[in-house]
Every structure is written in C-alpha cells, then in structure tokens.
Amino acid sequence: MTTLIIKGARVLGGQPADLLLQDGRIAAVGERLSATGADVLDAGGLVALPGLVDLHTHLREPGREDAETVETGSRAAALGGYTAVHAMANTDPVADTAGVVEQVWRLGQQAGLVDVVPVGAVTVGLKGERLAELGAMADSAARVRVFSDDGHCVADPALMRRALEYVKAFDGVVAQHAEEPRLTVGAQMNEGDLSARLGLTGWPAAAEEAVIARDVLLAEHVGARLHVCHVSTAGSVEILRWAKSRGVRVTAEVTPHHLLLTEACAGSYDPVFKVNPPLRTDADVAAVRSGVADGTIDAVATDHAPHAVEDKESEWAQARPGMLGLEQALPVVVETLVEPGLLDWAGVADRMSVRPAAIGRLTGHGRPLVPGEPANLLLLDPAARAVVDPAALASRSRNSPYAGRELPGRVVATFLRGTATVLDGKAQK
Ligand SMILES: [Zn+2]
C-alpha cells in the first residue's frame, strides 16, 4: 500500500494541515509531516472532508444495466466525493432476498470504487403485501440494516407497523418513501396554481405529510427507527420537528434537487425535471434548507435515479420520474447551504457523511479525520466553478437536471481506505 502525505489541506475548513495516509488509515495529522518514500499531494486551498455517504442511490443493477451499473454508478459516486452508497432495492429482480443483496454487495466490491451497501426491500417484490426476508438479509454477507420499498410507499399501516417491529430486533431502520398512493393517482407535478395552469395532475403535499405523520406515530408506538426519504415540503419539516421534540426515533433526508430547484422547472415541460416526489415551491425549498441547517433534516441524500434515454426523453406524462445526483450533490450543497451561510464545512460533513453513516450503521465511514481512523476522505476546491455537461458525467445515463448550470465546488480527490479513487478530478479506474 502506498504512503501519501496530503500537504496543507483545510480539514473541515480549518487551518491548513498535513495528513499522512498509511496502510489505509490516517497515520498522522499535523504540520510539516514527512515520511520516507511517501508520495506528496499538494492540497493548498482545498477543504478536506470525510468521504461522503449516500443513503439513497439507484444503481439499476441487476436488471437495467443500460441505465446504470454498480460499476458506473460507483464511479459517479467516487467523482462526487462519496466513499459509500446505499443501493436501493428496486432492481430487477428486486433486492428482497439474501441472494440478491449479496450479489449487489459483491458487484460493489469488484468495482472497488466505493463501499456499496445494499438496501433490502421491505415487502416481497415491492408489492406492499407481505414482508420480505428481512432477517435473512440482515444476516447475509451484505449485513443489510436499511430496508425500503423506495419507488413505492409501504402504504398499509399494519404492514408498516410489522416492518418496524421486525427491524428493531437487529437495530435496522425502515426508510419510507412517503406517498399516500390514493392521493397521487396519475400525479405529474406539485399540486398548486402552477399545475392547474399547466394542466398537469397534481401531487399534493398532504400525500407526503400524511404518511410521515402516520409513520412517526407508529415509530413512537413501536420504539423502532424510522427514516424518511426525500422530504420535500415545509409541512413535512414541521412534522419531523414535532416528532423529534417528542423523542421519536426518526431521521430524514432531503435531495440536492429539492434544495435547489422548484416546480417552476415544470413550466418548460422538459421531462428531466420530472421526479417523485415532485419539485415544490419556493417556500418548501426555504423550509427544507432551514431543516438541514437546524438538523431537523439529518442528511442530504441524492436519490440518484439514472434513466435510459427512451425512458426520459419523451412527453412529460410518459417520462419516468427521477434525476441524476451523485456527481453534483456536493456542489449543490455548496450553492444552497454553504455559500448562503446556512451550513459550515463541519455541518456539511455531518449531514453528508457522519449522520448518513450512523443511520446506516456503517463502521469506518463518517469518522473524524484524525489519526487511527480509516482514510476515507475527499478534497474539495471550494473556489472552483464549473458548468455541468451531462456528456462528461461518469453515469451511464444523462438525465441531469443541472445541465448547463454553473455550480461551485470541485471534488479534486477521493480516497477509499487510503487508495485514491479520484485524483485531479479524474476516476482512477
Ligand atoms: Zn423514493
């Protein structure tokens, strides 16, 4: 294994320091470090953060390798500064058995760019009818701790209660895609004045908020851990704030696109902006930003959702919902939270690494950058700005909602257990 000295990086935005990486760990942090035979990387002006952890990635393998594979998605993740991603279960076949989650986990190990952590389905085939083999997935080599039917809501309250009871036994968490399906039949965008004007069926905020309210009550009753995926409305933030004040074991995430974009994007009828839950209003964007700032929302999670061209470049109503996120998540957080002064670098590390790792019960990620810890980290140039070019992305898909937009912050390097997966902004394999 190589020995590397990173010179003059600002750990969590603090004073410049050197970091010595050796045998996959951080061996020392200090001034003017040296080691015989060590490679040296000049990190002057760069911010060092713990490797990011995504709670919500769609890698599409097995089943839709034309849209993304574990390898291409892992490369996109590394380029975004991630060292671990949770791979959602809505693959084909669905990740609802020990066999499928172990397959995804192995593919991640083979790619070797990030730790791929499989999410197990809550119900068999994501059908919402009966519980999947949660215990077998937890006991598998993939050691699943996060369970989600994401893409679908576990809408049946009795089934949701049973899932919460079941995962409690092994300290798992149910990650809910909060969408009351009876309220979103045929929904195309946020319900409001704009949807009425555009003539598109609306997806009301209440369809999300009703499920979150129900689930925090169930989580409180059962005493189990609940995680809420992609929170998108001001009302959801209020419910979460209330639940946390009562001591409910609930955590929540918001996506980069819900931090930056609004329903106004739908006015273009460009399906790249179609997503579930939909882009909301300016007031919702302000509320989710302050929810992240005050910690009511624990994590920024990408909901990276690659789609093949034929599934996305069609009329709005026929297009599949979802957008890419891994490669631009950190720049969007810099733009929406850091530059406006809502979050400092320690806060970014907390919401994008420390808390997501804790929610997923990962060891070795989301750790402080101090001697003895695994060398999972990224180096960011906060002063760099770049215009997003979908053709240049590592993802196999091209459905980036940020195409043509200038965003701040460039990930210069990413290290997974001391090995560079990204150097000078380029993937190393
Ligand atoms: Zn979802």
Once rounded to an integer, what is the mean pLDDT over residues 207-222? 98
Once rounded to an integer, what is the mean pLDDT over residues 340-364? 98
Cβ pair 360, 119 in contact under 8 A: no
Q: How far is the CA of 176 from the centre of ligand 1 (A)?
A: 8
**pLDDT per residue as tens digits for the range 389-401:** 999 999 999 999 9
- What does the alpha-carbon distance between residue 135 and residue 328 come to, in Å, rounded to a whole number? 35
- At 2, the pLDDT band (50, 70, 90 cuts) reads confident
Q: Is 321 annotated as a binding residue?
A: yes
User: Which one, of 333, 331, 314, 313, lies nearest residue 398 by Cα?
Assistant: 313
Centre a 10 Å sphere on the Cβ of residue 344 and count the other Cβ atoms it contains.
13
**pLDDT per residue as tens digits for the range 121-134:** 999 999 999 999 99
Mean pLDDT of the chain: 97
Q: What is the 3-state secondary structure (H, E, C) of 128-196?
A: CCCECCHHHHHHCCCCCCEECCCCCCCCCHHHHHHHHHHHHCCCCEEEECCCCHHHCCCCCEECCHHHH
Q: What is the pLDDT of residue 1?
A: 61
Q: Is 56 annotated as a binding residue?
A: yes
Report the sign of the C-alpha dihedral through residues 90, 154, 82, 225, in that order: negative
**pLDDT per residue as tens digits for the range 9-63:** 999 999 999 999 999 999 999 999 999 999 999 999 999 999 999 999 999 999 9
Active-site residue identified among 96, 115, 303, 311: 303
- What does the alpha-carbon distance between residue 403 and residue 398 come to, in Å, rounded to a whole number? 9
Centre a 10 Å sphere on the Cβ of residue 177 and count the other Cβ atoms it contains.
25
**Catalytic annotation on 303?**
yes
Specify the DSSP class assigned to residue 354: I
Q: What percent of the chain has pLDDT over 70?
A: 100
Q: How far is the CA of 257 from the centre of ligand 1 (A)?
A: 13
Specify the DSSP class assigned to residue 344: -
Cβ pair 48, 378 in contact under 8 A: yes
**pLDDT per residue as tens digits for the range 295-332:** 999 999 999 999 999 999 889 999 999 999 999 999 99
Q: Is 409 annotated as a binding residue?
A: no
Q: How far is the CA of 19 from the centre of ligand 1 (A)?
A: 38
Establish whether the linkage from the previous residue to 356 is cis, with ω within 30° of 0. Answer: no
Q: Is 257 annotated as a binding residue?
A: no
Q: What is the pTM of this model?
A: 0.98
Q: How far is the CA of 262 from the centre of ligand 1 (A)?
A: 18
- What does the alpha-carbon distance between residue 364 and residue 417 come to, in Å, rounded to a whole number? 9
Q: How far is the CA of 230 from the centre of ligand 1 (A)?
A: 7
Once rounded to an integer, what is the mean pLDDT over residues 343-352? 98
Helix residue spans in 305-349 (DSSP H): 309-312, 329-333, 345-349
Establish whether the linkage from the previous residue to 277 is cis, with ω within 30° of 0. Answer: yes
Q: Is 330 annotated as a binding residue?
A: no
- What does the alpha-carbon distance between residue 33 and residue 36 come to, in Å, rounded to a whole number? 10
Q: What is the pLDDT of residue 232?
A: 98
